Amino acid sequence: MQGMAQPIFSEDNTLLDGGIDLNMEQGMAEHLKDIILLTAILQVLGCASTYFWYLWLLAPGRALYLLWVNILGPWFTAESPTNPDVSEKKQKRQERRQMKKLQ
């Protein structure tokens, strides 16, 4: 984690990469901390029973949850982009058709 936070400088001392903010919420460092904590807790609990190792399935479960919430869910439920000019044209065309039917 220390390597993630280290800034990278070029040969002429200009900043190329500022590193990752380890305290940023919903950042990569937060997810890495969660995995480290889960591993440490499971190692302690694994001493009591081997069945606690099944809790490692929480890690891919959380990854799938984050994938759905941040990427797939909004993509599947997004409204199709509508062009207001096209809808106005369709509306005028329908009005003309109705007027022809009435005459």
Residue carrying structure tokens 């070029």: 10
- Rounded distance between C-alpha atoms, residue 49 and residue 57, angstroms: 16
- Rounded distance between C-alpha atoms, residue 87 and residue 54, angstroms: 54
- Rounded distance between C-alpha atoms, residue 45 and residue 77, angstroms: 40
**DSSP E strand boundaries for the chain:** 8-9, 15-17
pLDDT for 19 equals 74
State phi, psi for 94 to the nearest 5 degrees: -65, -40
Instruction: For residue range 4-35, list pLDDT tens digits in order.
Output: 777 888 889 888 877 777 676 777 778 888 88
Instruction: For residue range 45-84, list pLDDT tens digits in order.
Output: 999 999 999 999 988 998 899 899 988 988 888 776 666 6
